[in-house]
Amino acid sequence: MKASDILSYAFGAIKLRKLRAGLTTLGVVIGIAAIVALLSISQGLQSTITEQLQTGFATDTLIVSVGGGFNLGAMSTASSGFTLLVNDTQEIDKIDNVDTSVAIIQRVIFVKSSGKELVRYIVGVDFAKYANIYSTFEAEGGAIPQDPSNETVIVGKRVSDPWRNETLFCDVNGTIQIIWTNATARPPKNETYVGHVAAVLNEVGGLSIGGPSDNSVYIPITQAQKFFATDKCDLIIVKLKNDDEATIESVSDAIKEAFSGEVSVTSSTAVLRILSSVFSTIELFLAGIAAISLLVAGIGIMNIMIVSLMERTREIGILKALGMKNRNVLLIFLCEAAIIGLMGAAIGTGSGWVLANIVAIIFSGGGAGVFMQAGRQAAPTSRMTITPVLTPTVFVGAMAFGLAVSVVFALYPAWRASRLNPVEALRYE
Amino acid sequence: MMYLKTLVLETVNLKKTYMLGEVPVYALKGVNLKVEKGDFIAILGPSGSGKSTLLNMIGALDRPTEGQVFIEGVDASRLNDNELADLRRQIGFVFQFFNLIPRLSARGNVELTLAIPGLGKTERRKRAEDLLENVGLAARVHHKPSELSGGERQRVAIARALANNPKFLLMDEPTGNIDSKTAKEIMDLVKTLNEKQNVTIIIVTHDQNVASQTKRSVQMLDGSIVKETVN
């Protein structure tokens, strides 16, 4: 019997029981839709986050910090008492393949302007070098001075416009008061000075580790050393000559060696890699949950096929009496399942995609935004939008999975149908 | 003279034993039967005489416990499922309850039989229509079984049985489920097929009236042939 004839026979059998076939298909639709929606949302989330990280990350950088691990707040000290100094950059600059390095002093401060007060990070850094490392350290208003005076400050977008409503907290050529509580002094006291805003940075968005952030106030490193009365720095950012795996590896090792293993070196690429592996795990978990619903659909298919097999016992007997081989009876039943599976998968993929977009719109727009907190302080937040991503792999995978589940669960009923004894099947009422 | 005729079907010491729980039931106890090309034979017997079991054996639907069934020289008792399926295509079945596929039209039912050996679409459509015309149903090709009378359904079944040029027609109580007037029409059609088109026909029936219209009848009782009559 020709494949096309088997297919059309199977199709005819499905058409006869539209409601039943429709409900069976619905099971597959729900399973596949759940998988597609969850996967495309999580992939969208992943690409949004990685994208935002990459802009704030620069793949050709290393972050040197004190102690065993990289710390988002970055103010840890090693138990041995080792600290990084601002002029340690000179040591690092000597290492092969290092383009430049820049020291960062970071504190949490209050900034005050026209009676209002914000909690923000203050970052002491060499402006020129920093701009050289991170292209996002770029002025939207004003200009980043090459040779800044001590009072010069550069503010992130969310310092200038913290409420996103054009009510500016401060602007270019304005002044802000910087207040830092010196907790090591006895008694603790507030240090303060007035900074002149030379530039407002372009909006960076999302997270940034080491790189420019919308919630920071930038001051020259020399001013930071003076104001905080310290030569210690919290991070040293190293720009490499290239972002080859080998370069990252060798420079990381060289830096660790230069500081006798007292520092930890974090590669942005490594962080991205860890993040994406975390996402893969989450994705797998979500897909697993969705797969359960598909399993239920599969059992539904099996159930329906067994009922159908009983109803059609006589028909199978007739087909066998007409000389149809067992194999072709098997194929007819498998074809029916495959048609249901394919239709379910196609509709499921479509509705899953629609569902993902609806969820994304609800998440990204309106009242309920996704807020990511970047740092220890609760105040600085920035919102992200998710664009669901339907990769060809997910699309093809979902279709294949829907088809496979349907066919696998139909195997047993189809096999039973094919093994029916023609004499008994013909006698069946 | 006798030996020049082609032997279409031969059973040799055919035995079939069923197990009814623990109790063996001897449905066939050594049946020897020969059917030649162009024969028109009735297998007659009351229910329980073993005639249905014999029909299953010579229709290649089941295997005997002992003995052989030769269909044009091929021993059906030695074949596997696939080979039996192939063999069944060369046998035209006509059942008491028609056994048409309800969702297919008259033509669809005949076409299905032609599709099984893999005949192309246009070819089988043409052939199906010819076959239906041959049984007097040219005007009813697009009707579904539920839209046809009992007699018409049986005609479709006969057209279907003839589709693959079978070695013989095997009819199981073909008039058992239709009124006597229609039954006569069907028997006339069957006789015409035998006389005009030289179709070999085996009818299994308990109806003496049907049997008397054949060329030869074989009387069965308790799993054995007890009498042969040439009409």
pLDDT digits (tens, 9 = 90+) for B149-173: 999 999 999 999 999 999 999 999 9
For A315, nearest residue in chain B (alpha carbons)? B101
Number of Cβ within 10 Å of residue A145's Cβ equals: 15
Mean pLDDT on B192-198: 91
Q: What is the mean pLDDT of chain A?
A: 84
Mutation site, B103, B104, B107, interface A, largest A CB count within 10 A: B103
At B203-231, the pLDDT tens digits run 999 888 899 999 999 999 999 999 988 88
Pairwise CB contact (< 8 Å): B62 & A421: yes
- Model confidence at A376, in pLDDT bands (50, 70, 90)? very low
pTM: 0.72
pLDDT tens by residue, A136-150: 888 888 888 888 888
Q: Write the CA distances from A380 to A235, A370, A424, integer angstroms.
A: 20, 13, 77
Closest Cβ–Cβ partner in A1, A16, A422 for B118: A1
A146 CB-near residues (< 8 Å, 6+ apart): A127, A128
Instruction: Map tokens 């975390």 to a residue.
Output: A278
Domain boundaries, chain A: 3-54+273-427, 61-241
What is the model's pLDDT at position A80?
64
Contact criterion met (CB < 8 Å) for B86 and A422: no
Locate tokens 């149809």: which residue?
A: A324
With contact defined as beta carbons under 8 Å apart, do A106 and A123 qualify? Answer: yes
Residues 6 or more apart whose CB falls under 8 angstroms from that of A177 comprise A111, A112, A113, A192, A193, A194, A195
Chain B CB contacts of A423 below 8 Å: 56, 61-62
**Domain residue spans of chain B:** 98-165
Eight-state DSSP code of residue A323 = T
pLDDT at A347: 95
Please give, rounded to a whole number of angstroms, the shortest distance from the CA of A343 to a CA of chain B.
22
Is the Cβ–Cβ distance between B42 and B70 less than 8 Å? Answer: no
pLDDT of A297: 86
CA distance A363 to chain B (A): 50
**Cα–Cα distance between A358 and A364 in angstroms, integer?**
10
> How far apart are alpha carbons A74 and A103 in whole angstroms?
12
A322, A420, A429, best to mutate vs chain B, most B CBs in 10 Å: A322
Q: Are A383 and A296 in contact (CB under 8 A)?
A: no
Q: Is A9 on the interface with B (CB under 8 A)?
A: yes
B/e letters for A19-57, b = 16+ CB within 10 Å, e = fewer, are: eebeebbebbbbbbbbbbbbbbbbbbbbbbbbebbebbb
Would the CB atoms of A323 and B61 count as touching at under 8 Å? no
Does residue A318 sit at the B interface (CB-CB below 8 Å)? yes
Tell me the three-class secondary structure of chain B, residue by residue: CHHHCCEEEEEEEEEEEEEECCEEEEEEEEEEEEEECCCEEEEECCCCCCHHHHHHHHCCCCCCCEEEEEECCEEHHHCCHHHHHHHHCCEEEECCCCCCCCCCCHHHHHHHHHHCCCCCHHHHHHHHHHHHHHCCCHHHCCCCHHHCCHHHHHHHHHHHHHCCCCCEEEEECCCCCCCHHHHHHHHHHHHHHHHHHCCCEEEEECCHHHHHCCCEEEEEECCEEEEEEEC
CB contact (8 A) between residue A318 and residue B61: no
Least confident of A274-283, A298-307, A399-408: A274-283
Least Cα separation, residue A366 to chain B (angstroms): 54
pLDDT of residue A339: 94
Instruction: Report the share of chain B in percent with pLDDT over 90.
Output: 73
Instruction: Specify the residue for token string 């010819």.
Output: B130
The tokens 């950012």 sit on which residue?
A237
The region of weakest confidence among A42-46, A216-220, A230-234, A302-306 is A42-46
Tokens of A394: 């997910």
**Which residues of chain B does A9 touch, with a Cβ-Cβ cutoff of 8 Å?**
112, 115
pLDDT in tens, A240-252: 988 888 888 899 9
**Residue A72, number of CB atoms within 10 A of its CB:** 10
Which residues make beta-bridge pairs with A380?
none
pLDDT of residue A203: 84
Q: What is the ipTM of this complex?
A: 0.92
User: Residue A212: its pLDDT value, please?
Assistant: 85
Q: What does residue B216 show for φ and ψ, rounded to 5 degrees? A: -150, 140
Is-contact A45 A276, C-beta < 8 A? no
Q: Which amino acid is at A102?
A: V
What is the count of residue pairs from A and B with beta carbons less than 8 Å apart? Answer: 66
Which residues on neighbouring strands pair with residue B172, listed in sequence order?
A: B204
